Amino acid sequence: MTTVVVTGASAGVGRAVVRRFARPGIRLALIARGRERLERAAGEVRAAGAEALVLPVDVADAAAVDDAAARTEAAFGPIDVWINAAMVTVFAPVAEMTAGEYRRVTEVTYLGCVHGTLAALQRMKPRDRGTIVQVGSALAYRSIPLQSAYCAAKSAIVGFTDSLRCELIHDRSDVRLTVVHLPAVDTPQFDWARSKMPRRPQPLPPIFEPELIADAVHHAAWHPRREYWLGWSAAKAILAQKVAPGIADHLLAHRAWDGQMTDEPRNADRPDNLFEPVAGDQGARGRFADRASTTSPAIWSSEHRTLLLGLAGMVLAGTALAVFTARAASRRAIR
């Protein structure tokens, strides 16, 4: 039996990841705040033949996350995989943000990931086995306007994870660590995140469905490597930041402002999930199915990079051998 813990398990990417893992032989511990959504997710897990444990916990509370890990091991045995996917964000220009909003986004999106990692590490390290998966974002490397608190939190996850990776290497630990950087995904986030913008938020296109992302996170958990960059849009954003950050600032100042809003006016009365969970079961997908892709050769290539590099190496070696043989034959013919 394999024990997998998922934070942010009740909706969006986390919910899709839970569905992807839910197979006979898998025990899933589901962490989020809203009990109703968690119970629905657990029902799906059990229907798929796996076992489920519902853990209504706020990841900003380090002691509660550690307690959730202890309860998981008491019920299911040693944790094999821990996936940090919980998040909150606020859509607003910096000048309209409050200190309390920065603190809350940081406590959930960054520290929630740290708390999950600590709870997993303290159990995995003495056993010298287990895998921690950070659900990252291209925005960890390349910040965009209107999401400063979230971009900073995702960037902090990379800084934290890089330090930990060095320490695991130093200690010759067999605990594995991987970060899966996502492109824009069609999730409920855009209908329940706090927003001060005049129009309804949307993921910055191109948009992908969460099931495609869940496949990649599942793959990463079993084939952990330093980082996965999912899709050409994520790779382009990360590389643009490394090569020409000033040009990227100017491009994003325009494209990523209106690009994060639809034409629909915002509903100022809708509840948001910054401090408390919103009621209802929103599932994995958001409202962008008409524009979101369910397949991506670039995401597939990122998952199977080793296979592709191996094939490319074989093609190169084969071509070199063919050229060498042809030249040798022509030299023999001249003689």
Ligand X SMILES: NC(=O)c1ccc[n+]([C@@H]2O[C@H](COP(=O)([O-])OP(=O)(O)OC[C@H]3O[C@@H](n4cnc5c(N)ncnc54)[C@H](OP(=O)(O)O)[C@@H]3O)[C@@H](O)[C@H]2O)c1
User: For residue 66, which amino acid is it?
Assistant: D
Residues 6+ apart with CB under 8 A from 53: 27, 28, 29, 30, 42, 71, 72, 75, 76
* Closest separation in Å from C-beta 57 to ligand X: 6
* Closest separation in Å from C-beta 102 to ligand X: 15
The residue among 145 and 203 lying less far from ligand X, judged by its C-beta, is 203
Asked if residues 169 and 233 have their Cβ atoms less than 8 Å apart, the reply is no
Distance between CA 155 and CA 113 in Å, rounded? 12
Binder among 116, 130, 145, 188 for ligand X (CB under 6 A): 188
Work out whether 33 is an interface residue with ligand X (CB under 6 A).
Answer: yes
Work out whether 302 is an interface residue with ligand X (CB under 6 A).
Answer: no
3-state secondary structure of 31: strand
* Closest separation in Å from C-beta 99 to ligand X: 18
Dihedral of the alpha carbons of 287, 291, 297, 300, in degrees to the nearest 10: 0
Work out whether 10 is an interface residue with ligand X (CB under 6 A).
Answer: yes
Span 92-131, contacts to ligand X by CB under 6 A:
108, 112
Count the helices and strands in the chain (H runs, E runs).
12, 14
User: For residue 20, which amino acid is it?
Assistant: R
The residue among 13 and 81 lying less far from ligand X, judged by its C-beta, is 13
Binder among 5, 11, 42, 214 for ligand X (CB under 6 A): 11
The residue among 27 and 194 lying less far from ligand X, judged by its C-beta, is 194
Query: Which region, judged by CB under 6 A, interacts with ligand X, from 20-28, 42-50, 52-60, 93-101?
Result: 52-60
3-state secondary structure of 153: helix
CA distances for 87 relative to 92, 131, 297, angstroms = 16, 20, 27
Work out whether 14 is an interface residue with ligand X (CB under 6 A).
Answer: yes
The residue among 123 and 154 lying less far from ligand X, judged by its C-beta, is 154
* Closest separation in Å from C-beta 280 to ligand X: 10
| Active-site position among 102, 110, 141, 150 | 150
Q: How many CB atoms lie within 10 A of CB 132?
A: 27
Of all residues in the shown chain, the one whose CB is closest to ligand X is 12
Binder among 3, 117, 131, 137 for ligand X (CB under 6 A): 137
Work out whether 149 is an interface residue with ligand X (CB under 6 A).
Answer: no
Distance between CA 310 and CA 317 in Å, rounded? 10
Work out whether 155 is an interface residue with ligand X (CB under 6 A).
Answer: no
* Closest separation in Å from C-beta 286 to ligand X: 7
Work out whether 13 is an interface residue with ligand X (CB under 6 A).
Answer: yes
Task: Confirm whether 150 is a catalytic residue.
Answer: yes
Could you tell me how many residues of this chain bind ligand X (CB under 6 A)? 33
Binder among 22, 135, 221, 237 for ligand X (CB under 6 A): 135
3-state secondary structure of 236: helix
The residue among 173 and 200 lying less far from ligand X, judged by its C-beta, is 200
Task: Provide the sign of the torsion angle of the four alpha carbons 302, 306, 310, 311, taken in this order.
Answer: negative
Q: What are phi and psi of 280, to 5 degrees?
A: 100, 165
Q: How many residues does the chain have?
A: 335
Span 190-219, contacts to ligand X by CB under 6 A:
203
Work out whether 298 is an interface residue with ligand X (CB under 6 A).
Answer: no
Beta bridge partners, 227, equal 179
Binder among 182, 220, 237, 240 for ligand X (CB under 6 A): 182
Peptide bond into 206 cis (omega under 30): yes
Q: What are phi and psi of 195, to 5 degrees?
A: -140, 135
Residues annotated as catalytic (active site), given as ranges: 150
Binding site for ligand X (CB under 6 A): 7-14, 32-34, 37, 58-60, 85-88, 108, 112, 135, 137, 154, 182, 184-185, 187-189, 203, 273, 277
